[in-house]
């Protein structure tokens, strides 16, 4: 594989008004902020982007809007996975038509397919749409684990160009690099272990923390990819509380609350998600301040 997308890829939140409608003006401001901060790529309508609460039309329209707003400055990776193979096909075709640079496809959730079912699902999508496709394994959310053996089989399928490993298991990630790293890119899906994965030969991180600390995450990844692990470690330690505490409740609840307190987005989130429980406010605020990030004056 050539021309790998590397570095800090933000799993971008979807800003919403208080009534739950999408706030496109704020979305555009976030994109400009990320480009200026050095973020290496935008992942739109992923888990952090509340893809599960968006309608099909909203999903496709937001990808199209993101591509237009980014305007070629950095790569756009569209979340297009589903537990319904035909729906995933529709999202992936739409993302290609709207100019996305790649797609991120989560393992089919809830249905608990076999490894052969997973292989056939991803193979079908890759053969159906000519766009780079990144596998996304997050068994803690999907109740479905994409095995190393299945990933190795999928490495041989054209258009499958990467995997986001969100198992939280560093050994799994390092094994993916060892067995598949020459064929596909390996991205950390767990901020807390992303530096260790990069030090082991990973290509980048699809990051929640980057929503709050884009410049620091971009710098950490740049240093790690250049082999300057000690310098990268200094930044990572400063971000450690964010890596941990942005998950005190289900993502993206804490990160949206943090961005609200930073004055970056309004307080909008869709049911069944609700605003961060007050018992966690001090913890998340402390994590923001430990990272050296300023809060909005009204926060």
**Which residues does the annotation mark as catalytic?**
136, 164
CA angle 32, 163, 7 (to 5 degrees): 35
Nearest to 45 by CA among 74, 73, 13, 69: 13
Q: What is the dihedral of CA 100, 103, 104, 110, to 10 degrees?
A: 110
Task: Please count the helices (runs of H) and the strands (runs of E) in the chain.
Answer: 12, 8
Residue pair 262/288 in contact by the 8 Å Cβ criterion: yes
CA dist., res. 80 & res. 188, Å (int): 18
Neighbours of 162 (CB within 10 A): 25
Nearest to 216 by CA among 34, 47, 45: 34
Structure tokens of 34?
């990320």
CA dist., res. 133 & res. 146, Å (int): 15
Backbone angles phi, psi at 162, to 5 degrees: -170, 175
Nearest to 51 by CA among 129, 128, 102, 109: 109
Query: Three-class SS of residue 135?
Result: strand
Backbone angles phi, psi at 251, to 5 degrees: -60, 135
Query: Three-class SS of residue 158?
Result: coil
Which helix (H) or strand (E) element contains residue 106?
A: strand 102-106
Neighbours of 19 (CB within 10 A): 7
């Amino acid at each position: 594989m050539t021309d790998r997308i590397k570095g800090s890829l933000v799993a971008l939140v979807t800003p919403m008004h208080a009534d739950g409608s999408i706030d496109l003006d704020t979305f555009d401001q976030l994109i400009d902020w990320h480009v200026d901060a050095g973020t290496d790529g935008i992942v739109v309508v992923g888990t952090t982007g509340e893809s599960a609460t968006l309608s099909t039309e909203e999903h496709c329209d937001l990808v199209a809007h993101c591509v237009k707003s980014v305007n070629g400055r950095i790569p756009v990776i569209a979340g297009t996975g589903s537990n319904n193979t035909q729906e995933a096909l529709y999202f992936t075709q739409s993302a290609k038509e709207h100019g996305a640079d790649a797609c991120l496809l989560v393992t089919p959730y809830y249905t608990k397919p076999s490894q052969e079912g997973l292989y056939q699902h991803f193979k079908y999508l890759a053969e159906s749409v000519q766009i780079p496709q990144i596998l996304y394994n997050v068994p803690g959310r999907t109740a479905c684990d994409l095995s190393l053996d299945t990933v190795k089989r999928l490495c041989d399928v054209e258009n499958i160009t990467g995997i986001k490993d969100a198992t939280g298991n560093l050994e799994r990630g390092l094994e993916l690099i060892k067995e598949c790293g020459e064929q596909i890119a390996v991205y950390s899906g767990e901020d807390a272990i992303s530096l260790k994965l990069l030090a082991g030969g990973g290509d980048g991180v699809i990051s929640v923390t980057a929503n709050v600390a884009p410049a620091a995450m971009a710098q950490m990844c740049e240093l790690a990819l250049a082999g300057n692990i000690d310098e990268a470690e200094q930044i990572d330690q400063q971000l450690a509380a964010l890596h941990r505490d942005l998950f005190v409740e289900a993502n993206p609840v804490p990160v949206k609350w943090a961005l609200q307190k930073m004055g970056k987005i309004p307080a909008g989130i869709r049911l069944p998600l609700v605003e961060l429980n007050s018992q966690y406010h001090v913890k998340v605020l402390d994590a923001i301040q430990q990272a050296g990030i300023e809060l909005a004056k009204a926060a």
